[in-house]
Homo-oligomer: A and B are copies of this chain.
Protein backbone atom coordinates (compact mmCIF):
# COMPACT_ATOMS: atom_id res chain seq x y z
CA UNK A 1 0.00 0.00 0.00
CA UNK A 2 1.30 3.44 -0.97
CA UNK A 3 1.90 5.68 2.00
CA UNK A 4 0.00 8.99 1.78
CA UNK A 5 2.65 11.67 2.18
CA UNK A 6 2.04 14.73 4.30
CA UNK A 7 1.18 17.95 2.47
CA UNK A 8 3.38 20.98 3.11
CA UNK A 9 3.83 24.51 1.79
CA UNK A 10 6.91 26.67 1.39
CA UNK A 11 6.47 29.90 3.35
CA UNK A 12 8.84 32.85 3.22
CA UNK A 13 8.74 36.17 5.04
CA UNK A 14 11.03 38.28 2.87
CA UNK A 15 12.38 41.33 4.69
CA UNK A 16 15.05 43.91 4.00
CA UNK A 17 17.43 42.20 6.43
CA UNK A 18 16.58 38.50 6.27
CA UNK A 19 14.53 35.96 4.36
CA UNK A 20 12.78 33.69 6.84
CA UNK A 21 11.66 30.46 5.24
CA UNK A 22 9.77 27.49 6.61
CA UNK A 23 8.04 24.24 5.69
CA UNK A 24 4.57 24.23 7.21
CA UNK A 25 2.37 21.14 7.19
CA UNK A 26 -1.35 20.95 6.59
CA UNK A 27 -1.64 20.51 10.36
CA UNK A 28 0.07 23.83 11.01
CA UNK A 29 3.35 22.34 12.20
CA UNK A 30 6.58 24.03 11.18
CA UNK A 31 8.77 21.06 10.29
CA UNK A 32 11.78 23.01 9.00
CA UNK A 33 13.01 26.59 9.01
CA UNK A 34 15.75 28.18 6.99
CA UNK A 35 16.73 31.82 7.34
CA UNK A 36 19.17 33.62 5.06
CA UNK A 37 20.52 37.13 4.81
CA UNK A 38 18.72 39.16 2.15
CA UNK A 39 21.38 40.08 -0.42
CA UNK A 40 21.67 43.63 -1.74
CA UNK A 41 21.25 42.51 -5.35
CA UNK A 42 19.57 39.61 -7.12
CA UNK A 43 17.08 39.20 -4.30
CA UNK A 44 14.69 37.17 -6.45
CA UNK A 45 17.45 34.68 -7.33
CA UNK A 46 18.30 34.29 -3.66
CA UNK A 47 14.62 33.89 -2.81
CA UNK A 48 14.17 31.17 -5.41
CA UNK A 49 17.28 29.42 -4.15
CA UNK A 50 15.79 29.46 -0.65
CA UNK A 51 12.47 28.11 -1.97
CA UNK A 52 14.26 25.33 -3.86
CA UNK A 53 16.24 24.45 -0.77
CA UNK A 54 13.05 24.20 1.28
CA UNK A 55 11.48 22.12 -1.48
CA UNK A 56 14.44 19.71 -1.49
CA UNK A 57 14.16 19.44 2.28
CA UNK A 58 10.49 18.49 1.95
CA UNK A 59 11.27 15.86 -0.69
CA UNK A 60 13.99 14.39 1.52
CA UNK A 61 11.41 14.04 4.30
CA UNK A 62 8.94 12.40 1.91
CA UNK A 63 6.56 15.33 2.04
CA UNK A 64 4.51 16.66 -0.84
CA UNK A 65 4.84 20.40 -1.52
CA UNK A 66 1.51 21.83 -2.70
CA UNK A 67 2.22 25.57 -2.93
CA UNK A 68 4.49 28.44 -1.96
CA UNK A 69 3.66 31.70 -0.18
CA UNK A 70 5.93 34.72 -0.03
CA UNK A 71 5.16 37.90 1.88
CA UNK A 72 7.07 41.15 1.48
CA UNK A 73 7.00 44.68 2.89
CA UNK A 74 6.06 47.69 0.79
CA UNK A 75 3.10 48.30 -1.46
CA UNK A 76 1.90 44.90 -2.56
CA UNK A 77 -0.91 44.08 -4.96
CA UNK A 78 -1.95 40.61 -3.82
CA UNK A 79 -4.15 40.00 -6.85
CA UNK A 80 -1.57 40.68 -9.54
CA UNK A 81 1.31 39.57 -7.32
CA UNK A 82 3.25 42.74 -8.11
CA UNK A 83 5.32 44.47 -5.44
CA UNK A 84 4.74 48.04 -6.54
CA UNK A 85 7.22 49.63 -4.21
CA UNK A 86 9.42 48.29 -1.43
CA UNK A 87 12.11 50.72 -0.35
CA UNK A 88 14.11 48.27 1.75
CA UNK A 89 14.20 45.71 -1.07
CA UNK A 90 14.95 48.35 -3.70
CA UNK A 91 11.96 47.15 -5.72
CA UNK A 92 9.71 49.12 -8.01
CA UNK A 93 6.92 47.30 -9.84
CA UNK A 94 8.53 43.91 -9.33
CA UNK A 95 6.25 41.22 -10.89
CA UNK A 96 7.13 38.75 -8.15
CA UNK A 97 4.30 36.30 -8.77
CA UNK A 98 5.18 36.01 -12.45
CA UNK A 99 8.90 35.61 -11.70
CA UNK A 100 8.28 32.86 -9.14
CA UNK A 101 5.71 31.04 -11.25
CA UNK A 102 8.20 30.86 -14.12
CA UNK A 103 10.65 29.00 -11.90
CA UNK A 104 8.47 27.05 -9.47
CA UNK A 105 6.18 24.25 -10.57
CA UNK A 106 3.39 24.90 -8.08
CA UNK A 107 0.72 27.47 -7.12
CA UNK A 108 2.27 30.63 -5.64
CA UNK A 109 0.73 33.31 -3.42
CA UNK A 110 2.22 36.77 -2.90
CA UNK A 111 1.20 38.74 0.17
CA UNK A 112 1.97 41.79 2.21
CA UNK A 113 3.94 40.98 5.37
CA UNK A 114 1.84 42.98 7.81
CA UNK A 115 -1.49 42.04 6.27
CA UNK A 116 -0.42 38.39 6.30
CA UNK A 117 0.55 38.76 9.94
CA UNK A 118 -2.89 40.22 10.56
CA UNK A 119 -4.46 37.19 8.93
CA UNK A 120 -2.42 34.90 11.19
CA UNK A 121 -3.36 36.84 14.35
CA UNK A 122 -6.99 36.74 13.20
CA UNK A 123 -7.11 32.99 12.62
CA UNK A 124 -4.73 31.77 15.31
CA UNK A 125 -3.66 34.64 17.56
CA UNK A 126 -4.78 37.66 19.55
CA UNK A 127 -7.60 38.76 17.22
CA UNK A 128 -9.24 35.35 17.15
CA UNK A 129 -12.96 35.57 16.52
CA UNK A 130 -12.84 39.31 15.74
CA UNK A 131 -14.35 40.24 12.41
CA UNK A 132 -13.25 43.85 12.93
CA UNK A 133 -9.74 44.50 14.17
CA UNK A 134 -6.43 46.14 13.41
CA UNK A 135 -2.94 44.74 13.92
CA UNK A 136 -0.27 47.36 14.46
CA UNK A 137 3.30 46.04 14.55
CA UNK A 138 5.58 48.69 16.02
CA UNK A 139 9.24 47.98 15.33
CA UNK A 140 11.76 50.24 13.66
CA UNK A 141 8.78 51.67 11.81
CA UNK A 142 5.01 51.28 12.12
CA UNK A 143 2.48 49.66 9.82
CA UNK A 144 -1.03 48.24 10.19
CA UNK A 145 -3.27 45.51 8.89
CA UNK A 146 -6.92 46.61 8.85
CA UNK A 147 -9.58 43.91 8.95
CA UNK A 148 -13.27 44.63 8.44
CA UNK A 149 -16.01 41.99 8.21
CA UNK A 150 -13.23 39.43 8.34
CA UNK A 151 -11.55 40.77 5.21
CA UNK A 152 -8.17 42.48 5.13
CA UNK A 153 -8.37 45.88 3.47
CA UNK A 154 -5.81 46.30 0.71
CA UNK A 155 -7.00 49.56 -0.82
CA UNK A 156 -7.21 50.65 -4.46
CA UNK A 157 -3.46 50.31 -5.06
CA UNK A 158 -2.44 47.79 -2.40
CA UNK A 159 -1.22 50.58 -0.13
CA UNK A 160 -3.79 50.53 2.68
CA UNK A 161 -2.60 50.51 6.29
CA UNK A 162 0.25 53.05 6.20
CA UNK A 163 -0.47 53.95 9.79
CA UNK A 164 3.13 54.98 10.54
CA UNK A 165 2.93 57.90 8.17
CA UNK A 166 -0.43 59.42 9.05
CA UNK A 167 0.20 63.10 9.89
CA UNK A 168 -0.68 63.57 13.56
CA UNK A 169 1.33 66.65 14.56
CA UNK A 170 0.87 69.50 12.03
CA UNK A 171 4.29 71.04 11.34
CA UNK A 172 5.87 68.47 13.63
CA UNK A 173 9.27 66.78 13.51
CA UNK A 174 10.67 65.70 10.16
CA UNK A 175 10.19 62.08 9.09
CA UNK A 176 12.54 60.10 6.85
CA UNK A 177 9.68 60.01 4.33
CA UNK A 178 10.05 63.76 3.83
CA UNK A 179 6.84 64.77 5.60
CA UNK A 180 6.54 66.33 9.04
CA UNK A 181 4.68 65.01 12.07
CA UNK A 182 4.16 61.40 10.95
CA UNK A 183 3.12 59.06 13.75
CA UNK A 184 6.26 56.94 13.54
CA UNK A 185 8.51 59.99 14.04
CA UNK A 186 7.35 59.80 17.68
CA UNK A 187 6.02 56.30 18.25
CA UNK A 188 8.43 53.76 16.78
CA UNK A 189 11.68 52.09 17.75
CA UNK A 190 13.73 54.34 15.48
CA UNK A 191 11.78 57.44 16.47
CA UNK A 192 12.18 56.76 20.18
CA UNK A 193 15.95 56.18 19.88
CA UNK A 194 16.43 59.28 17.72
CA UNK A 195 14.41 61.52 20.04
CA UNK A 196 16.15 60.14 23.15
CA UNK A 197 19.51 61.05 21.60
CA UNK A 198 18.28 64.48 20.47
CA UNK A 199 17.17 65.31 24.03
CA UNK A 200 20.68 64.72 25.35
CA UNK A 201 20.50 60.99 25.96
CA UNK A 202 23.03 58.43 24.75
CA UNK A 203 22.71 56.08 21.82
CA UNK A 204 20.31 53.43 23.09
CA UNK A 205 17.84 51.01 21.55
CA UNK A 206 14.14 51.48 22.25
CA UNK A 207 14.31 48.38 24.46
CA UNK A 208 17.08 49.96 26.53
CA UNK A 209 15.13 53.20 26.77
CA UNK A 210 12.06 51.35 28.03
CA UNK A 211 14.25 49.60 30.64
CA UNK A 212 15.17 53.03 32.03
CA UNK A 213 11.61 54.22 32.55
CA UNK A 214 11.08 55.61 36.04
CA UNK A 215 14.78 56.26 36.58
CA UNK A 216 15.72 58.34 33.54
CA UNK A 217 13.75 61.58 32.97
CA UNK A 218 14.69 61.75 29.27
CA UNK A 219 13.45 58.20 28.76
CA UNK A 220 10.26 59.06 30.62
CA UNK A 221 9.71 62.17 28.51
CA UNK A 222 10.15 60.60 25.07
CA UNK A 223 8.17 57.53 26.10
CA UNK A 224 5.27 59.64 27.40
CA UNK A 225 5.20 61.53 24.12
CA UNK A 226 5.35 58.31 22.12
CA UNK A 227 2.40 56.89 24.05
CA UNK A 228 0.42 60.11 23.65
CA UNK A 229 0.95 60.21 19.89
CA UNK A 230 0.17 56.51 19.61
CA UNK A 231 -3.00 57.07 21.66
CA UNK A 232 -3.98 59.83 19.23
CA UNK A 233 -3.35 57.45 16.33
CA UNK A 234 -5.45 54.73 17.94
CA UNK A 235 -8.25 57.27 18.50
CA UNK A 236 -8.15 58.12 14.78
CA UNK A 237 -8.20 54.43 13.90
CA UNK A 238 -11.10 53.81 16.29
CA UNK A 239 -13.21 56.71 15.01
CA UNK A 240 -12.68 55.77 11.37
CA UNK A 241 -12.82 51.97 11.50
CA UNK A 242 -14.52 51.10 14.78
CA UNK A 243 -12.50 47.92 15.43
CA UNK A 244 -13.48 45.39 18.09
CA UNK A 245 -9.87 44.98 19.15
CA UNK A 246 -6.54 46.66 18.45
CA UNK A 247 -3.59 44.26 18.50
CA UNK A 248 -0.15 45.78 19.05
CA UNK A 249 2.86 43.76 17.91
CA UNK A 250 6.56 44.32 17.29
CA UNK A 251 9.25 45.35 19.74
CA UNK A 252 7.11 48.04 21.37
CA UNK A 253 4.58 45.44 22.52
CA UNK A 254 7.28 43.80 24.64
CA UNK A 255 7.23 46.85 26.90
CA UNK A 256 4.12 45.23 28.40
CA UNK A 257 2.31 47.25 31.06
CA UNK A 258 4.66 50.20 30.54
CA UNK A 259 3.02 50.52 27.15
CA UNK A 260 -0.46 49.09 27.51
CA UNK A 261 -1.55 50.79 30.74
CA UNK A 262 -0.88 54.41 29.66
CA UNK A 263 -1.86 53.63 26.05
CA UNK A 264 -5.31 52.39 27.05
CA UNK A 265 -5.68 55.48 29.24
CA UNK A 266 -4.67 57.78 26.38
CA UNK A 267 -7.10 56.12 23.99
CA UNK A 268 -10.00 56.24 26.44
CA UNK A 269 -9.26 59.90 27.22
CA UNK A 270 -9.18 60.67 23.50
CA UNK A 271 -12.67 59.32 22.80
CA UNK A 272 -15.57 61.52 23.73
CA UNK A 273 -18.81 59.62 23.41
CA UNK A 274 -17.82 56.08 22.64
CA UNK A 275 -16.11 53.24 24.44
CA UNK A 276 -12.57 52.32 23.51
CA UNK A 277 -11.96 48.98 21.79
CA UNK A 278 -9.77 46.45 23.58
CA UNK A 279 -6.03 47.03 23.14
CA UNK A 280 -4.01 43.81 23.45
CA UNK A 281 -0.59 42.39 22.72
CA UNK A 282 -0.01 40.27 19.60
CA UNK A 283 0.45 36.55 20.29
CA UNK A 284 2.40 35.27 17.29
CA UNK A 285 5.31 37.71 17.51
CA UNK A 286 7.85 37.70 14.72
CA UNK A 287 6.46 34.40 13.40
CA UNK A 288 3.20 36.02 12.33
CA UNK A 289 4.38 37.01 8.83
CA UNK A 290 5.67 33.55 8.01
CA UNK A 291 2.58 31.85 9.41
CA UNK A 292 0.47 34.23 7.31
CA UNK A 293 2.53 33.30 4.23
CA UNK A 294 1.82 29.61 4.85
CA UNK A 295 -1.93 30.30 5.16
CA UNK A 296 -1.86 32.18 1.84
CA UNK A 297 0.01 29.26 0.27
CA UNK A 298 -2.58 26.71 1.40
CA UNK A 299 -5.28 29.01 0.02
CA UNK A 300 -3.43 29.20 -3.32
CA UNK A 301 -3.43 25.39 -3.34
CA UNK A 302 -7.20 25.42 -2.81
CA UNK A 303 -6.74 24.02 0.70
CA UNK A 304 -7.39 27.10 2.83
CA UNK A 305 -9.71 25.03 5.02
CA UNK A 306 -6.81 23.13 6.61
CA UNK A 307 -6.15 26.18 8.83
CA UNK A 308 -9.29 25.39 10.82
CA UNK A 309 -7.41 22.54 12.43
CA UNK A 310 -4.26 24.42 13.32
CA UNK A 311 -3.15 24.91 16.93
CA UNK A 312 -4.10 28.26 18.42
CA UNK A 313 -1.56 30.56 20.03
CA UNK A 314 -2.00 31.08 23.75
CA UNK A 315 -1.02 33.98 25.92
CA UNK A 316 2.26 33.57 27.77
CA UNK A 317 1.63 32.76 31.41
Copies of the protein in its oligomer: 2
Contact B270 A156 (CB under 8 A): no
Residues of B within 8 A of A167 (CB): 168, 232, 235-236, 270
Contact A242 B157 (CB under 8 A): yes
**Cα distance A177–B179 when bound, in Å?**
30
Residues of B within 8 A of A149 (CB): 151, 153
Contact B240 A240 (CB under 8 A): yes
Question: From residue 234 to 293 of chain A, which have CB atoms closer than 8 A to chain B?
Answer: 235-237, 239-244, 270-274, 277
**Cα distance A118–B186 when bound, in Å?**
35
Contact B240 A177 (CB under 8 A): no
18 CB contacts below 8 A, A to B, read A85-B273, A87-B273, A148-B148, A148-B151, A158-B242, A159-B239, A160-B241, A160-B242, A163-B240, A165-B272, A167-B232, A167-B236, A169-B170, A170-B232, A175-B272, A177-B272, A179-B270, A240-B240
Residues of A within 8 A of B (CB): 75, 85, 87, 130-132, 144, 146, 148-149, 151, 153-163, 165-170, 175, 177-179, 228-229, 232, 235-237, 239-244, 270-274, 277
